[in-house]
Amino acid sequence: MSSIFKGSPNRRPNDVEAGTSCSAHSDDEDHELYPDPFYIRSTKNAPIDRLRRWRQAALVLNASRRFRYTLDLKKEEEKRQILRKIRAHAQAIRAAYLFKQAGEQVNGAKIAQPIPCGDFSIGPEQLASVFRDHNFNALQEYGGVHGLSESLKTNLEKGIPGDDSDLLKRRNAFGSNTYPRKKGRSFWRFVWEACQDLTLMILVVAAVASLALGIKTEGIKEGWYDGGSIAFAVLLVIVVTAISDYKQSLQFQKLDEEKRNIHLEVVRGGRRVEISIYDIVVGDVVPLNIGDQVPADGILISGHSLAIDESSMTGESDIVHKDAKQPFLMSGCKVADGSGTMLVTGVGINTEWGLLMSNLSEDNGEETPLQVRLNGVATFIGFVGLSVAFSVLVVLLVRYFTGHTEDPYGRTEFIAGKTSVGHAVDGAIKIVTVAVTIVVVAVPEGLPLAVTLTLAYSMKKMMADKALVRRLSACETMGSATTICSDKTGTLTLNQMTVVEAYVGGRKIDPPDSSSGLPDTLTSLLVESIAVNANGSVFTPEGGGDVEVSGSPTEKAILNWGMKLGMVFDAVRSSSSILHVFPFNSEKKRGGVAIRLPGSEVRIHWKGAAEIVLAACTSYLDTNGETVSMGDEKVAFFEKAIETMAAGSLRCVAIAYRSYESEKVPTNEEELAEWALPENDLVFLAVVGIKDPCRPSVKESVQLCQRAGVKVRMVTGDNLKTARAIALECGILSSDADASESNLIEGKVFRSLTDSQREEVAEKLSVMGRSSPNDKLLLVQALRRRGHVVAVTGDGTNDAPALHEADIGLAMGIQGTEVAKESSDIIILDDNFASVVKVVRWGRSVYANIQKFIQFQLTVNVAALVINVVAAVSSGDVPLNAVQLLWVNLIMDTLGALALATEPPTDHLMHRTPVGRREPLITNIMWRNLLIQAVYQVTVLLILNFDGKRILRLEHESSEHATREKNTLIFNAFVLCQIFNEFNARKPDEVNIFRGLGKNYLFIGIVAITVILQAIIVEFLGKFAKTVQLSWQLWLVSIAIGFISWPLALIGKFIPVPETPVSNFFSRILNVEEPRVAKSTRSPMLHPKEMETNLSIKCVLRHFPPAFRDWQY
């Protein structure tokens, strides 16, 4: 984006407001501090090789599923190649046409006559040929932009009629502004991807082998159960996984559509109307302002200092200035500077942008830092699970083939030389099946995907909260935000502006819209200045009705004030011609226009920040309409007026003008485009105070942030006194005593400080007034160097660097430009600060939900692994068979993620401090809860496994039935323990685990479905699951065993846990000396204390595998 600002014609060569734009932190530093492949500070602009590293380090059983929602590195490279090819192709065609055109000029060839198309005297082929090669001569042959407008039946002032029949004719003749999209994955594609899990493939092979042997030895009637039950369980896992993944995919497709649907203004029937980019048709007249995206191919009608960034189409970063000689505007490019209007000549697939997007419409995904960290956790747990499974496999095979394994009747299963090969192979297959199933349970493939699930759910819900997420990672990063740098206008305020005070003719007029007592000369000049120096417009319906005023809120307020003074907008505008425009600049805080009157008189009108315009004035118009020199006394009077209005939280805007010698005006078009409007010796006309009330809920939202440990800072272009008054009203400053110099600063003062001074000031800063976009960038960089996780709001094109630099860029949906939106991570659709706070809640919710799921899944992992390992080593048999373990895997993986990863955010989340980026994923509280539940489950179920027959009084039953009934009870109790523990996982650190349960229908539904299916498996699918029907007494025993987990969890929450993370105890035990780190290499995303702690951990954990380090973190 930096190229946009370098090429701006309005940027002065020695502009002190154009500071540095270096990043506060580089990925190289990040890599040196944290070589762990599973730690990436931010995936926002991470290098490809860094993303490749963690993929290579991850233990993955199903790559197509695990990496589905991450960036496809291969496709990313293909995308870049396609971009290069299309750009090269377009440039080659253009060069060929230019060569052909040169030959035709030499030979005297003429341009082909336009071929009518429907009701229009020119067709899409002729329009495309003119535009494709930017053939200016062909354009002139067709009569220039005026000739094309006549052929397209467009009025360049009033646009097209815009009725339904007219729009239909244009779409039929020239097409619509859409392009073919690649279809999303079908449901069967997700089924196919779910089938590619290595462990499931092995289980299917084992099921087929078991099926063949069973039918051979026991006949088809009884022999198909073992193999068939495993195959059915695998099929169930595949189908449920595919359904869950498919639903996520549909949510992402819907959100992607929302991101692409840009809204913009067009002129139809003489009025400006807002439409979707998809509704633009050939012949539309589109106003363009700085930061807008060119919505279709078109020809410039008129423009003022219009500069276009064509890098998205050409790959070149140079800014191209557009004028009558270079009028071609390409779809998809951005307006870097100036303003203008364009005539649309090509839409949809008939444009180069449409061709480009139709080839790149598929979203390739994006990993998030938490997703990468969870891949590290899954990798570590997977290594442990593989080790355990291999141990179980070896122990069971050794016991089996050495004759130490007995069947349910007490007979030795394998006797060397006597047992048939078929029985031996069948026994070995069952052992392999159990070992492989342990791997299925132990390797949590669904853990990283749970992030995607909770993000997809959060993104959908955030849309209802007026926040459109453009980058997945921003969702979770928002939970770590320690400060929010917010704009004032429209975010903290309502953006409903009205002029409530005015000083005209050297005195205050009351009421402010009264022109009585003002001389005609003064009123005429004031009205002229308001009308010509405006980026908005006034539409008066021909048949009467309410006047419609368009433009920015400030423009609308001043235009409305002008109309009350007697301004007739169209009449004033048509009485003069515009020579040159200096668009309002958020750095210079003013905008100007040069006009030529009928008598060749030239006037230059300025409007902008009151104190800046006042400083450029040397005289003023008094109440008699006479020009009077601006003495010190009058300057003091106006300064006092501005100060008083600013203290009353009013935005102060001054209006001034000057006459200019006609002969000094550049006559050459190029010189005129570069002409710097004179901004000295101005005549002061008026200063107005514009009221923009604070949003009703903003004070409560700011206080909620402060309680949550998130500091709100206001960064505004307004007068510092206005900013101070609004900050007090919003609660950013709690009192007058709080509004000290250390908390308030002007942009020019802040930018003049050294880097170290800026860091010190930024830490205390609450309000920055009269700031330029670059001051906002410098503030973001200073805060990040201090260790803050920074969220910043922005709406202008010049805010793009700050939005890009911040950890989370928040663009405004209503007032924000397309450039700002493209540089942002989240778009706040209603421009409301309360919506920003809701995003913080959702960000914290994402992290909290993942932790709930980790606690739940690890409890199941630990319990299942320990029970099967101990039982296998001691008795040669396992109480939980393959089918049962697959059902447990389904509960803890897909269903568990659905239940726990979709918990809505609660107010409790905003009573915590922000989540540190390197804060351990498994906190001490989670370790406590996890160990209590796992130890309880392992203890109870192992007692049942070894002494269950006696406890349940099954000694008198047949050995086979007694074993099956005992194992069924163990299986039933184990599953019910997980269901009860799912409630505990909802609130890891709260006593009341049922709070908010009534609102979470998905959780209740999943628990109900799990219980019903468990009952069906136990009572009716005994042949498949190797279970027997349980008596109601044993069902009560199972429920009682599960229920005990609730009071245990309650008691556990009163057990204090140390504040120091568990991983820190390793460093104390091993007594490892901390490394010294130079101040300059300190990670900018860690607080000093957090940095010190993590360096200690890092010393110890560097001796462990990378995945283990991340797991501890």
Average pLDDT rounded to a whole number, residues 587-602? 90
pLDDT grade, residue 471 (50/70/90)?
confident
487 labelled catalytic? yes
**Confidence at residue 1094, expressed as pLDDT on a 0 to 100 scale:** 41
The tokens of 493 are what?
């305020």
Q: Which residues pair with 273 in a beta bridge?
A: 266
Q: How confident is the model at residue 907 (pLDDT cuts 50, 70, 90)?
A: confident
pLDDT level of residue 960 (50, 70, 90 thresholds): confident
Query: Residue 1078 pLDDT more than 90?
Result: no
Q: Which of 1057, 827, 803, 1069 shows the shortest CA–CA distance to 931?
A: 1057
Q: Is the pLDDT of residue 480 over 60?
A: yes
CB 572 within 8 Å of CB 525: no
Q: What is the mean pLDDT of residues 850-876?
A: 83
- Measured CA to CA, the distance from residue 223 to residue 1023 in angstroms comes to 11
Contact 525, 621 (CB under 8 A): yes
Give 918's DSSP letter: T
Are 165 and 158 in contact by the 8 Å Cβ rule? The answer is no
What pLDDT shows up at residue 687? 96
Tell me the residue type at 913: T
Helical segments of 261-368, H only: 311-314, 352-360
Nearest to 689 by CA among 503, 489, 556: 503
Q: In the numeric block, which tokens belong to residue 934?
A: 């796992």
Report the pLDDT value the prediction gives residue 62, as an integer from 0 to 100. 61
Convert the pLDDT of each residue in 680-724 to its tens digit: 999 999 999 999 999 888 999 999 999 999 999 999 988 899 999
Catalytic, out of 36, 133, 309, 487: 487
The pLDDT, as a whole number, for residue 1097 is 36
Mean predicted confidence (pLDDT) in 96-116: 56
Return the pLDDT at 1100.
Answer: 34
* Mean pLDDT, range 248-263, rounded to an integer: 79
DSSP string over 67-81: TTTS--HHHHHHHHH
The rounded percent of the chain whose pLDDT value lies above 90 is 35
Of the pLDDT bands very low, low, confident and very high (cuts 50, 70, 90), residue 1075 is very low
Is the pLDDT at 977 greater than 90? The verdict is yes
Instruction: Look at residue 983 in the predicted model and tell me its pLDDT.
Output: 94
Query: pLDDT at residue 55 above 90?
Result: no
Which burial class, exposed, middle or buried, applies to 349 when counting CB atoms under 10 A from its CB (0-12, 13-18, 19+)? middle
Residues 6+ positions from 1009 with CB-CB distance below 8 Å: 895
Is 25 a residue whose pLDDT tops 50? no
Q: What integer is the mean pLDDT of 161-165? A: 90
Mean confidence (pLDDT) of the chain: 81
Check residues 976 and 42 and name the one with the higher pLDDT: 976
Query: pTM for the full model?
Result: 0.77
Q: What's the Cα-to-Cα distance from 971 to each of 278, 442, 878, 1025, rounded to whole Å? A: 57, 17, 11, 10
Nearest 5°: the CA angle 590, 594, 596 is 160
How much is the pLDDT for 24?
45
Burial pattern 360-383, b for ≥16 Cβ within 10 A else e, equals beeeebbbbbbbbbbbbbbbbbbb
Task: Give the pLDDT of residue 1104.
Answer: 39
Q: Tokens 């040929």 label which residue? A: 129
**Between residues 336 and 48, the one the model is more confident about:** 336
Instruction: Judge whether 581 and 304 are in contact, CB under 8 Å.
Output: yes
Cα–Cα distance, 659 to 682 (Å, whole number): 9
Q: How far apart are CA 843 and CA 480, in angstroms?
A: 8
